[in-house]
């Protein structure tokens, strides 16, 4: 196992709370963003599936730990989670592909071709 995900999520939540006590305005701003997202048209399960996919694409282990728990709590099935993760994998592959095009342009420019 890569991490003890339950312990990691608990640690993240505790540390998040401690930082929030030291910087309450920052915490209020962060929570306002969360509340605004929750007020939009997406249900909690869909938001958590998106959050897991984004956490994977941004490589945020703490986000993965917290949003995995939240997705399960919101009723996400293994199939739905796998679909969200497959989308993240596909998006990362697509980003690498399009940035490869940029690299090819840079190579062509270095050769005086572009």
pLDDT of the residue at 113:
79
State yes or no: pLDDT of 87 exceeds 70. Answer: yes
pLDDT of the residue at 58:
95
Q: What is the pLDDT of residues 27-73, one digit of tens each?
A: 999 899 989 988 888 999 999 999 999 999 999 999 999 999 999 99
State yes or no: pLDDT of 114 exceeds 80. Answer: no
CATH architecture of structural domain 5-110: Up-down Bundle (1.20)
Over residues 69-91, mean pLDDT: 97
Q: What is the pLDDT of residues 14-25, one digit of tens each?
A: 998 999 999 999
Torsions phi, psi for 43 (to 5 deg): -80, 165
């Amino acid at each position: 196992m890569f991490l003890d995900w339950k312990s990691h999520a608990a640690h993240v939540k505790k540390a998040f709370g401690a930082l929030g006590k030291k910087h309450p305005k920052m915490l209020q701003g962060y929570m306002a963003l969360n509340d605004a997202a929750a007020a939009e048209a997406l249900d909690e399960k869909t938001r958590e599936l998106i959050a897991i996919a984004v956490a994977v694409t941004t490589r945020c282990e703490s986000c993965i730990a917290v949003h995995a728990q939240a997705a399960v709590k919101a009723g996400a099935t293994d199939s739905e989670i796998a679909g969200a993760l497959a989308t993240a994998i596909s998006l990362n592959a697509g980003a690498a592909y399009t940035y490869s095009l940029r690299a090819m342009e840079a190579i062509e420019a270095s050769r005086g071709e572009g």
